[in-house]
Amino acid sequence: MSRPTRKTFESLKSTEKLMEVIDIAYNYYIDLLKYNLAINEIKKEDKSQGSNNIPPPPSPLEIGEYSVQEYVLLSIQKISSNLLAEVVWSLPLLYAEKLLILVESVLKLMYDHSILNSKQLTENPINNKNLSFYGLEPLTRTVLCLVQTHFIHWISSINTISPIIGQNNSAGGYLNVWTKSSDPRNDRIPQYNIRSVLSNLKIYIHHLLKNQMEIVSLNNGILKILEQDAASNSSVKPITFDEITEQRKNKQSKKRRTSN
């Protein structure tokens, strides 16, 4: 029997920490959904004056001044990149489903931010570096690991998770619904249909990755313009990235010839 390595201990520790984060974030997320549901019900009954009397749920000490989305994203970013896949694969099914729902809310906020910027609607901008594109890579990897691990189970039990499918929204995805339940066992389980969650994730990730690729191509174009401008204004021609790559290839080919 092989002895446990340091990486194994780090993976187990990271998995336990992530499960704690999921418990804290998910419970608070559900409390916020319940709070919003209560506010909407009061508004429907034309009792808007009483909506101010309902206090929002207190934020857990672990979350502090962060939002749920920030807390989840920062917690995922703290996991070492070479351990992330192993940690996500080690999650029990219930925690995997909760994490998928939480990650969906994070990507939705990033997606909404991107749409607002593209439409130049800056009345309520989300100026938050934590929820910028820097966090897209670990979130995308997390979603891929979750889907690869539990896709067959989620699809096979798609009709037993929840009979409620949200209505289509303007973005072409689904709106998940929180409803009251008479069963106390379902007190902390939102009526999420896994199909709507996966469909929304597909929309969000596709849009965000496409947007990020456009930003990268734009930056490369600007760099080329600056290189051309510097070359025209200087007697010494600067070495471009393409030239450095070509020189490296030539050195490698020379080494191969000498070795042969």
Could you tell me if residue 250 is inside a domain? Answer: no
More confident residue, 54 or 65: 65
**DSSP secondary structure letter of residue 191:** B
Region 152-158: mean pLDDT is 71
Region 7-24: mean pLDDT is 88
Q: Which residues contact 34 (CB under 8 A, 6 or more apart)?
A: 57, 178
Q: Quote the percentage of the chain above a pLDDT of 70.
A: 61
- Structural domain count of the chain: 1
Residue 165's domain comprises 78-227
Could you tell me if residue 172 is inside a domain? Answer: yes
- pLDDT band, residue 25 (cuts 50/70/90): very high
Of the candidate ranges 48-52, 137-141, 143-147, 238-242, the one whose mean pLDDT is the lowest: 48-52
Could you tell me if residue 253 is inside a domain? Answer: no
Could you tell me if residue 15 is inside a domain? Answer: no
Could you tell me if residue 109 is inside a domain? Answer: yes
> Can you say whether the dihedral through the CA atoms of 18, 24, 29, 30 is positive or negative?
positive
Could you tell me if residue 155 is inside a domain? Answer: yes
Helix (H) or strand (E) holding 196: helix 194-232
Report the chain's C-alpha Rg in angstroms.
Answer: 24
Question: To 10 degrees, the CA torsion angle through 138, 139, 140, 141?
Answer: 50
More confident residue, 229 or 153: 153
pLDDT of 61 strictly over 60: yes
pLDDT in tens, 112-147: 887 776 665 444 444 555 555 567 888 999 999 999
Question: What's the confidence (pLDDT) of residue 239?
Answer: 60
Could you tell me if residue 39 is inside a domain? Answer: no
Q: The pTM is what?
A: 0.67
Could you tell me if residue 188 is inside a domain? Answer: yes
- What count of other Cβ atoms lies within 10 Å of the Cβ of residue 89? 15
